[in-house]
Copies of this chain bind each other. A is one copy, B any other.
Amino acid sequence: MGEKILQAEKDIHVRFSEVDAMGVVWHGSYLLYLEDAREAFGRQYQLEYLTMYQHDHVAPIVDLKLQYRSALHYQDQAKIVITYQDSDAAKLIFDYKIYNLTTRQLAVIAHTEQVFVGTNGELQITWPAFMIEWKKNHGLL
């Protein structure tokens, strides 16, 4: 397993529709931010959903954890840092930290795990060939 850290950042601007009746970002809206972060990571490291799909795989989320430390408000500026966690198991694992740039506080810590499923519907229990190639290209193997 490599020592290299693969990390991307994504700036967030809180939308009105993401805020709930308590005036803070609804806990579910953060999943949109995590998705934005995964897309930013995919663009930076050539691991986009469409690339996977061209290699006949999709990568559904099987595990999701969020800890909410402080609230984001409407119009707050925030930043997500997404970090790839390499694993022997055939799983795409990401850790996330969302910072409120307005208050300088940590807002949310999150973690997702995705498995690889062939477009034929079969769960892949070992790393697919295109992902082994990807790991090599990024100094992880």
Contact = CB atoms under 8 A, between A and B. Distances in A.
Interface of A: 13, 15-17, 19-24, 26-28, 31-32, 35-36, 39, 48-50, 58, 60-69, 71, 74-75
B32 A28 contact: yes
Nearest to A111: B65
Contacts of A75: 48-50
Interface centre among A16, A36, A60 (most CB of B within 10 A): A16
Given A31-B31, A35-B16, A66 B68 contact: no
Given A31-B31, A66-B63, A58 B15 contact: no
Instruction: State the main secondary structure of chain A at its contact with B.
Output: mixed
Contact of A67 (B20, B63, B69, B74): B63
19 contacts: A15-B35, A15-B39, A16-B35, A16-B39, A17-B31, A17-B32, A19-B20, A20-B21, A21-B21, A28-B31, A48-B75, A50-B74, A50-B75, A60-B68, A63-B68, A64-B64, A64-B65, A64-B68, A65-B65
A17 B26 CA distance: 7
Kindly report how many copies of this chain are found in the complex they form together.
4
A74 to B, nearest CB: 6
